[in-house]
Structure 1
Amino acid sequence: MDSSETHAGIGVRSATAMVATGHPLAARAAQDMLAAGGSAVDAAIAADAILGVVEPMATGIGGDLLAMLVEPDGHAISYNGSGRSPAALSAEVIEKLPNQRIPERHALSVTVPGAVRGWFDLHARYGRLPFAQLLAPAIALAEHGFAVLPITAREWAVFEPVIKRDPACAKLYRAGNTPRAGERFANPELAAILRAIVADGPDAFYLGAPARQAAAANQAQGGVLAAQDFARHHGDFVLPLERKFRGLTVLECPPNTHGVAVLDALEELDVLALDRDDPATTLAMVEAVGRAMAQAKKTVADPAGNTVATVVVDRDGLAVTLMTSVFKRFGSGIAVPDCGFVLQNRGSGFSEPGHVNGPAPARRPYHTVVPGAALKDGRFHAGFGVVGGAMQPQGHVQLLVRLAAWGEKLQAAIDAPRWRLEGDKALAIEPGTADAVVKTLREAGYSDPEGAGELAGRSDFGGAQFVVRDDDGSLLGGSDKRKDGVALGA
């Protein structure tokens, strides 16, 4: 059932429920779950499981899950399902590394995957439909295959050097013959693991063959991940951080994520005029974000760091922004033999020893995934995510300024060109940005990164998924043209 209408620049409108996610198959599955009486969380889990099948370079059961939820009465809660480093990640292990920093694709960059436990934790609190029903569409796609979409195919080919270094990964993801747009790809090994998870719950993953084989694969390449690290994993429901901005209460996940950078930047900007037509406004935004992210790098750590996003609001008013990630594309590049997934490399987010975010046993690293939401008059107003590593907080700030300060329409705000800080004074500016804005930023000393971006020498300006409650009570959904996704009413 689809009660939605699409309006140019505005997005998709629905009077009842809304889905925005990064792949049409995921969006339709979420829509089907809502039509079957499922909750927003049911729909988001179904969509996320599919994304792990159809976008393996971005997410999967070898990665982490974080979520932001707003209940119908306006109560907000966040979920941190990020995994911890192995218990054997000792100082002696780190001291042997160059500069005592964990390299990006090193076996020591692997942390425990939190996605599967996250699905079950969220479902236990908010789910309505049987778990088997939620994973059935993903299992069918993994078993029988799907047509690879254009942006996915391009990223698959670009990051072939990552997958070809590990024989299991090369075989699984077809190094040397990566699927082109329109070609079919199947992953029956992953289908079998998902079926086991349906049958036996999260223990099938955290106490079963996937944990043992992941540990063996990691240790074979010099890592220290153990099956016991899987067994000890748990996620946490925690209160979000919040700050006021232009009449909204903006909600972000607390550390170990850098959601606090969004709030710090918005607090600095809220006292300014933020004249849309003045290029100095964009300069002020860049400077505020730069200061906020620098502060986060100094202070964010475990309080005991590529991604997909799904935003769903159901007809009862429960809203969820659910995000999962294996961090860099194809994560560590280490695949788990016979299990159909790659292990994340989130441990490369640790700083050097002695830093507040320094590596240590059983510790969560600095995490870039930040599902967000906003309240208006104490009730849900928006749920949003902007995938793309360090682009995530930068995307939040840019979109919230466009929507809340400048009054732009949802889809137009998502489509508008963005900028991305790649370093203290290195700023990538997306084509289409007004010449006067570009001139102001360059004259302020922000140089072109010249191919320093994360995606094949081109800066990654992210992919936004956004749902907003309009003044008349209807829902507006927007999905980023930079990805393969879609927004659908339900």
Structure 2
Amino acid sequence: MDRSETHGNAGVRSETAMVATGHPLAARAAQDMLAAGGTAVDAAIAADAILGVVEPMATGIGGDLLAMLVEPDGHATSYNGTGRSPAALSVEALENLPNRRIPERHGLSVTVPGAVRGWFDLHARFGRLPFAQLIAPAIALAADGFAVLPITAREWAVFEPVIKLDPVAGKLYSAGSTPREGERFANPELAAMLRAIAADGPDAFYLGTPARQAAAANQTRGGLLTAEDFANHRGDFVLPLERKFRDLTVLECPPNTHGMAVLDALEELDALPLDRDDPTTTRAMVEAVGRAMAKAKKIVADPSGNTVCTVVVDKDGLAVTLMSSIFKRFGSGIAVPGCGFVLQNRGLGFSEPGHINGPGPSKRPYHTVIPAATLKDGRFHAGFGVVGGAMQPQGHVQMMVRLAAWGEKLQPAIDAPRWRLEGDMALAIEPGTPDAIVRTLRDAGYSDPEGAGELAGRSDFGGAQFVVRDEDGGLLGGSDKRKDGVALGA
């Protein structure tokens, strides 16, 4: 039963449990898992599996997974399910590449997918329902088809050139006639793959046909991935990084992600008054984020990408922010024959040889995905993510300032116009930003990127998913209008 209700400007409210995710079908499946007695993790896995079906340009079993979990007693855990480079990757393999950097959709950009192992690792520790029950809705949608939503249809069309580069991907994702809004799309190959995973567990993916087929497809495109690389993959539960901001403890994923950039920027801003009505406050935010991201580039690497996010809090108080991604839209563009998915291109995150994040064998590259949470008085306060590659740490900082420093209501804070650094002094400013703030930023020397950005020549200002514990103990959910998602109470 849907117990959610619109609660003024605060967002959707529920007294028991809450889901916020990027697609209505994913939200409904998560809600159903909670109603069936599942945990927040059960619900998040069900939603994530569906997102890989209905948003194939953003995520899928060919990508990675990270999560931030807060237990009812306030104990927090981060899960790193990012994959590693091929064991055969060496500096010598890059000698003939421009600037010795891995190109965006080159075979060498492919790293081992971590999402499937991540589902099972999370389920083993925090799940309650049978795993097969969790991905049954995704299997049904892949087999029977679903109506493509408007933002998904637009991105599918914009990035059609990527899938045209690979005959298998082109056929799989309808290059030449990508689905329009409302048209139905099915992926029976993916349905069969998910059935095998449901029946035989992660070995069906990491030790079976997908591993062999992925290796062969990648090597055909100049990559070095092997079936052994799949077999050797593992994920890790690790302690999150944390820092105080106003009256909250902000939790971020440790390296190989850029979560540290969020905390560095917030630490600098926490010492300032952050007057909302003063345009120089936004300038201070941009400058703090710029310095924090520059530090992350030196210590970690270079950011960019596309992701999906699901936040769930269950009736027992377990909270999870689960995010998955194939990095750039449609990832590497290399599809795995007969398996219904494309491989990610996280290897693009490697820096040049000699950098701390330089390429090497069986190595995790710099990763942009940063599921996050906040604590208040030692207990869960919020779970959130802001998808969009380099927008992720920038979105976290902007949302934390709006919520924790300015006291804004949840949904208006999500809907408010954002800014996005595209370079050291290149700053995209979303329409609707007050003129005084725009003038202050441009007068400070931040130029318009003029078409830079990741989506159709415009900057991508991300998509936030949030669940917040209200002061009276209820739950508030907010979902970004920049995506096709929704928040639902349970």
- Whether TM exceeds 0.5 here: the answer is yes
Q: Which letter does structure 2 place at the counterpart of 1:111? A: T
Counterpart-to-counterpart distance in 2, 1:321 and 1:53: 19
Report how far residue 9 of structure 1 moved: 2.0
Residues 303-357 of structure 1: per-residue CA shift (max 9 Å, x gap): xx81000000000000000000000000000000100000000000000000011
Residue 422 (structure 1) aligns with: 422
Residue 198 (structure 1) aligns with: 198
Residue 367 (structure 2) aligns with: 367
Please list, as runs of the form range in 1=range in 2, the aligned pairs for 1:32-431 lying within 5 A after superposition. Answer: 32-300=32-300, 306-431=306-431
Please list, as runs of the form range in 1=range in 2, the aligned pairs for 1:470-481 lying within 5 A after superposition. Answer: 470-481=470-481
* DSSP-derived class of the 1:488 partner: strand
* DSSP-derived class of the 2:327 partner: coil
Percent of pairs with identical residues? 86
Structure 1-normalised TM-score? 0.99
Report how far residue 242 of structure 1 moved: 0.1
Counterpart-to-counterpart distance in 2, 1:363 and 1:21: 30
Report how far residue 449 of structure 1 moved: 0.2
Residue 255 of structure 1 contacts residue 301 of structure 1 at CA under 8 Å; is this kept in 2? no
Report how far residue 54 of structure 1 moved: 0.0
Q: Which letter does structure 2 place at the counterpart of 1:258? A: H
Residues 374-427 of structure 1: per-residue CA shift (max 9 Å, x gap): 000000000000000000000000000000000000000000000000000000
Residue 373 of structure 2 contacts residue 382 of structure 2 at CA under 8 Å; is this kept in 1? yes
Residue 352 of structure 1 contacts residue 358 of structure 1 at CA under 8 Å; is this kept in 2? yes
Structure 2-normalised TM-score? 0.99
* DSSP-derived class of the 1:132 partner: helix
Counterpart-to-counterpart distance in 1, 2:292 and 2:163: 34
Counterpart-to-counterpart distance in 1, 2:10 and 2:163: 39
Q: Which letter does structure 2 place at the counterpart of 1:354? A: G
Residues 431-464 of structure 1: per-residue CA shift (max 9 Å, x gap): 0000000000000000000000110101000000
Q: Which runs of 5+ in 1 are unaligned?
A: none
Residues 226-257 of structure 1: per-residue CA shift (max 9 Å, x gap): 00000000000000000000110000000000
Counterpart-to-counterpart distance in 2, 1:306 and 1:388: 5
Q: Which letter does structure 2 place at the counterpart of 1:387? A: V
* DSSP-derived class of the 2:448 partner: coil
Counterpart-to-counterpart distance in 2, 1:123 and 1:447: 46
Counterpart-to-counterpart distance in 2, 1:8 and 1:206: 47
Q: Which letter does structure 1 place at the counterpart of 2:324? A: T
Report how far residue 484 of structure 1 moved: 0.1
Report how far residue 91 of structure 1 moved: 1.6
Report how far residue 79 of structure 1 moved: 0.1
Residue 301 of structure 2 contacts residue 351 of structure 2 at CA under 8 Å; is this kept in 1? no
Report how far residue 10 of structure 1 moved: 1.0
RMSD of equivalent CA atoms: 0.9
Residue 301 of structure 1 contacts residue 364 of structure 1 at CA under 8 Å; is this kept in 2? no
Residue 105 of structure 1 contacts residue 332 of structure 1 at CA under 8 Å; is this kept in 2? yes
Counterpart-to-counterpart distance in 2, 1:300 and 1:265: 16
* DSSP-derived class of the 1:156 partner: helix
Report how far residue 90 of structure 1 moved: 1.1
Q: Which letter does structure 2 place at the counterpart of 1:329? A: R
Report how far residue 4 of structure 1 moved: 1.2
Residue 139 of structure 1 contacts residue 195 of structure 1 at CA under 8 Å; is this kept in 2? yes
Counterpart-to-counterpart distance in 2, 1:97 and 1:350: 13
Report how far residue 301 of structure 1 moved: 6.3
* DSSP-derived class of the 1:79 partner: strand
Counterpart-to-counterpart distance in 1, 2:287 and 2:385: 22
Q: Which letter does structure 1 place at the counterpart of 2:321? A: T
Residue 212 of structure 2 contacts residue 227 of structure 2 at CA under 8 Å; is this kept in 1? yes
Counterpart-to-counterpart distance in 1, 2:65 and 2:219: 24
Is 389-398 or 6-15 further displaced after alignment? Answer: 6-15
Q: Which letter does structure 2 place at the counterpart of 1:269? A: L
Counterpart-to-counterpart distance in 2, 1:221 and 1:265: 40
Query: Following superposition, which runs of at least 4 residues in structure 1 exceed 6 angstroms of deviation?
Result: none
Counterpart-to-counterpart distance in 2, 1:113 and 1:94: 22
Q: Which letter does structure 2 place at the counterpart of 1:488? A: L
Residue 458 (structure 1) aligns with: 458
Report how far residue 151 of structure 1 moved: 0.2
* DSSP-derived class of the 1:326 partner: strand
Report how far residue 104 of structure 1 moved: 0.7
Report how far residue 7 of structure 1 moved: 2.4
Q: Which letter does structure 2 place at the counterpart of 1:460? A: D
Aligned residues: 488
Counterpart-to-counterpart distance in 1, 2:356 and 2:369: 19
Counterpart-to-counterpart distance in 2, 1:42 and 1:117: 14
